[in-house]
């Protein structure tokens, strides 16, 4: 399975904000730290705010911060939220599947179990687990 860039950026934003838990950060700060486009991050930040992962503050002294403690941000839940519209194979989308062998194919069941196992592992971890090496992360991000 390959995660989307959207999911990747959601994780990166949360990591950055988790490292800066005592201060507000801006989209520009995050974009600079990772070397990615501010435009891409705008959608990510909007999504994270709508889902209640981050809080936003407008204005001259505005910025972003985590809305929950890192221990309360489950990676499995986050990836499910960000990958909600991703279909592993054509046959996983019942209304769009035109696969001729679907009625007798065992692959769908095998991949479905694999996907469940993937999420089961992610469910064991939180953002706090990713932030265990704060010093090294901060150094790499130029902090």
CATH number of 68's domain: 1.10.10.10
pTM confidence score: 0.88
* pLDDT score recorded for residue 99: 77
Residue 48, token pair as written in the block: 């994270």
Residue 26, token pair as written in the block: 């801006």
Q: Which residues of the chain have pLDDT under 50?
A: none
Cα–Cα distance between 77 and 75 in angstroms, integer? 5
Q: Are 84 and 4 in contact (CB under 8 A)?
A: no
* pLDDT score recorded for residue 94: 65
* pLDDT score recorded for residue 89: 67
First vs last C-alpha separation in the chain: 32
* pLDDT score recorded for residue 98: 75
Domain count, the chain: 1
* pLDDT score recorded for residue 93: 66
Q: Provide the domain limits for residue 28.
A: 5-140
């Amino acid at each position: 399975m390959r995660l989307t860039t959207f999911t990747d950026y959601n994780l990166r934003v949360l990591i950055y904000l988790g490292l800066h838990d005592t201060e507000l950060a801006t989209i520009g700060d995050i974009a600079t730290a990772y070397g990615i486009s501010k435009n891409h991050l705008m959608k990510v930040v909007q999504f994270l705010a709508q889902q209640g992962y981050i809080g936003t503050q407008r204005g001259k002294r505005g910025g972003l911060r985590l809305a929950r403690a890192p221990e309360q941000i489950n990676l499995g839940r986050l990836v499910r939220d960000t990958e909600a519209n991703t279909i592993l194979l054509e046959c996983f989308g019942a209304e769009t599947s035109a696969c001729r062998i679907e009625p007798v194919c065992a692959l769908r069941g095998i991949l479905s179990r694999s996907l469940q196992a993937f999420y089961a592992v992610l469910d064991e971890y939180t953002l706090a687990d990713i932030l265990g090496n704060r010093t090294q992360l901060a150094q790499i991000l130029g902090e």
